[in-house]
């Protein structure tokens, strides 16, 4: 069985390195493939890029470097990206963290900033001058007199829902608003509307605006 396979498409080439093959054997076959491809394209000036697919195997930094050095011998060839059917542990943990609702009951005092990756169900207290930031949505059941910042790092889909009437400010992505004392009692959700402005709505309307988030919070 071939350890390395070259496939051509309209927008480039894919190099498949079989995950059950010996890497040195694959590297040897790649050398032969590149020599042949160079001969087959003599006289052409178009740059050719490759996506290297390693299937269910993750290449180490030195293995990737060897492939890059091999391709570097051919000025018209370049590697577009490495892809695989698996992710490394670090990426997997970061993905899980970003897609988990974290429960937090901290007390955030004046001058303190708490950053959480993903969504957070907040049960604690935020004093005036304290800031709770989340890359996802913030669901508030605690006592908030400080600042709530959802969608930190440019996530405009995030919302702030719950008991935020006493907050100094609400922020979503790069937008900031000061809570008015006469806000209607049923306006318990802050979100970014189609005009890229902060707006407020009810939990019932959230089902239409952000159905995935509404399903996620369930009986919140």
Q: 83 and 52 in contact (C-beta within 8 Å)?
A: yes
- Lowest-confidence region among 29-33, 117-121, 179-183, 190-194: 179-183
SS3 label, residue 218: coil
Q: Strand 101-104 and strand 125-126: pairing?
A: unpaired
Share of the chain above pLDDT 90, in %: 38
pLDDT over threshold 80, residue 21: yes
Q: Is residue 92 scored above 70 in pLDDT?
A: no
| Mean pLDDT in residue range 145-167 | 93
Is 217 a residue whose pLDDT tops 60? no
> Residue 219: which pLDDT band, with cuts at 50, 70 and 90?
very low
The predicted model gives 81-104 an average pLDDT of 69
Using CA atoms, how far apart are residues 131 and 133, in angstroms rounded to an integer? 6
Contacts of 22 (CB under 8 A, 6+ apart): 3
The pLDDT of residue 100 is above 60: yes
Compute, in degrees rounded to 10, the torsion defined by CA atoms 153, 194, 161, 156.
-10
Report d(CA 39, CA 158) in Å as an integer.
Answer: 53
Res 108: pLDDT: 97
Residue 206 has pLDDT above 50, yes or no: yes
Total-model pTM = 0.57
Q: Which residues, 6+ apart, have CB-to-CB distance to 85 below 8 Å?
A: 55, 56
Averaged confidence pLDDT in the chain: 85
The predicted pLDDT at position 69 comes to 92
DSSP one-letter code for 182: T
């Amino acid at each position: 069985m071939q350890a390395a396979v070259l496939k051509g498409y309209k927008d480039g080439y894919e190099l498949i390195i079989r995950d059950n093959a010996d890497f040195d054997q694959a590297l040897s076959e790649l050398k032969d493939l590149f020599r042949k491809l160079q001969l087959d394209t003599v006289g052409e000036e178009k740059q050719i890029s490759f996506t290297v697919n390693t299937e269910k195997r993750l290449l180490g930094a030195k293995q990737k470097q060897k492939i890059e050095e091999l391709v570097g011998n051919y000025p018209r060839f370049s590697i577009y990206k490495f892809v695989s059917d698996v992710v490394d542990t670090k990426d997997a943990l970061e993905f899980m963290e970003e897609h988990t609702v974290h429960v937090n009951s901290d007390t955030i005092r004046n001058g303190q900033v708490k950053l959480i990756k993903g969504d957070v169900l907040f049960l604690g207290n935020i004093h005036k001058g304290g800031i709770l930031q989340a890359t996802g949505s913030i669901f508030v059941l605690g006592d908030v007199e400080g600042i709530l910042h959802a969608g930190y790092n440019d996530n405009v889909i995030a919302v702030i829902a719950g008991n935020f009437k006493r907050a100094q400010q609400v922020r979503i992505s790069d937008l900031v608003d000061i809570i008015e004392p006469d806000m209607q009692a049923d306006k318990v959700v802050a979100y970014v509307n189609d005009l890229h402005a902060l707006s407020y709505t009810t939990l019932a309307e959230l089902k239409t605006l952000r159905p995935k988030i509404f399903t996620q919070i369930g009986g919140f």
